[in-house]
Amino acid sequence: MSDKKKKGSKKGGKKIDPFTRKEWYSVRAPTVFFPPAAANSIGYTPVNKTMGTKLASDGLKGRVFEVSLADMKGEESQVHRKIKLRADEVDGKTVLTSFYGMDLTTDKARSLVHKWVTMIEVYVDVKTTDGYSLRVFAVTFTKRADFQVTKTSYAKTSKVKNIRKKMHEIISASIATSDINQVTKKFLEQTISAQIQSECSTIYPLTNTFIRKVKVLKTPKVDGRRLMEQYAASNSYAAPAAAAPVATAPATEETGIPVETA
């Protein structure tokens, strides 16, 4: 009989489920992404429990979550927009996140491209007033003018350059004078893309103008006070209020029980 072990045999004891070493944290997003009075929770995330000097909170900070804006807003019309959120702070069993980027879904981006038109793209590196460095990508498309007879709507190179220059100016001016909270609101309300389409249509008729993508290149040091301002309007996340003291009157002679007064 051969003393050799069978090929493929393994040594080992009882397998341990790795999730027995983990705990779950609730993940919350700034209230700007939700309707008024809505719960601002986007789900849960697991992390290894604190062991020795290795803290669970250290494993959570810096995580990036990608969420559909339609799920947060509760509006089906926003299903083509994806929001990235980064974990910046851990408060108890709650992870507080902040804006970390935006993107269009692949199917939406592809559906915009058509024949016989010119696609004009631009990207801008710009810094907000509170120190966030952003790279903003915008896209727009030419369209047929009213009463146009020809089938195609190709813009001349000179007009494309003028439109691209104007887009760059609008994006830079709108973001460079705002902080990250105001910029996020502008992205969600699509005010920048509406301004681009309105002002650049004087050069050539345009349609389907979008902020296609936003990247956060650099962020300032996390400021707890400014982070909590993004959650100030949330009904579902607030510091517990201290109970109001109850005034009591002296005990009555008949019962000896103090009576509560307003």
Distance (Å, rounded) from C-alpha 193 to C-alpha 195? 5
Count of beta carbons in the 10 Å neighbourhood of residue 68:
15
| Residue 235 per-residue DSSP state | S
As given in the structure block, the two tokens for residue 94 are 């709650």
β-sheet bridge partners, residue 21: none
pLDDT at 36: 82
In this predicted structure, what is the pLDDT of residue 233? 55
DSSP structure class, residue 180:
H
| Whether residues 190 and 169 fall in one domain | yes
Question: Across all residues in the chain, what is the average pLDDT?
Answer: 86
Question: Does residue 117 sit in the same domain as residue 92?
Answer: no
Which pLDDT does position 11 carry in this prediction? 62
Q: Which residues form the domain of 130?
A: 112-221
Task: Quickly tell me which residue has 């000097």 as its tokens.
Answer: 53
The answer to which of 20-29, 107-116, 178-187, 253-262 has the lowest mean pLDDT is 253-262
Residue 261 domain flag:
no
Q: How many domains does the chain have?
A: 2
The pTM assigned to this predicted structure is: 0.80
Helix (H) or strand (E) holding 175: helix 157-176
- What is the helix (H) or strand (E) element at residue 133, kind and residue range? strand 133-142
> Stretch 60-86: mean pLDDT, rounded?
95
Is residue 124 included in any domain, yes or no? Answer: yes
Per-residue model confidence as pLDDT tens digits over 205-226: 999 999 999 999 999 998 888 8
pLDDT band at residue 230 using 50, 70 and 90 as cut-offs: confident
**Does residue 12 have a pLDDT over 70?**
no
Query: Are 119 and 214 contained in the same domain?
Result: yes
User: Greater confidence, 104 or 6?
Assistant: 104
**Last residue of a domain, which of 87, 104, 121?**
104
Of 104, 127, 151, the position where a domain reaches its end is 104
Which residue matches tokens 């494993």? 59
Strand partners, 64: 86
Domain boundary residue, one of 44, 72, 104: 104
At residue 237, does pLDDT exceed 70? Answer: no
Based on the domain organization, do 155 and 133 belong to the same domain? yes
Query: Is 116 found in the same domain as 216?
Result: yes
